[in-house]
Amino acid sequence: MSGHTPGPWKFDRDNYGVTSRAGYSLLNSRGDTLGVTVHKTDVFGQIIAETEANACLIAAAPLMLAELKRIKEMTTAPDVSPEEALTAIYLASLAAIRAAEGGE
């Protein structure tokens, strides 16, 4: 499997470059579209807030993967104390949750 588009990803609330009814376009760090649109129409019974939350979660994927890798490194490094590892896990979790919920 080849690697994914490097993060950070974000979603375009204004939907530049696609029709206004298409949904939220996901963008890479340069602002180029990833070719993914999370639809905001009510076709599947989703409300707009849920669709925006879905777009935030998808856009957070690269950061969440990076934080999980950091947790793995911290918890397997022989020179890291349990306290340092726990702190790293906590901070990585906060960063992933913040990104998944639409925070910067």
Three-state secondary-structure class, residue 67: helix
**Residues 91 and 104 both lie in one domain:** yes
Its pTM stands at 0.72
Domain limits at 53?
1-59
**Residues 52 and 69 both lie in one domain:** no
**Residues 46 and 91 both lie in one domain:** no
Q: Quick one: pLDDT at residue 90?
A: 92
Per-position pLDDT tens, the chain of length 104: 568 888 888 877 766 555 445 677 788 888 888 877 776 666 555 567 777 788 888 888 888 888 888 888 888 888 989 898 889 889 989 988 888 887 76
Q: Quick one: pLDDT at residue 99?
A: 85
**Residues 65 and 45 both lie in one domain:** no
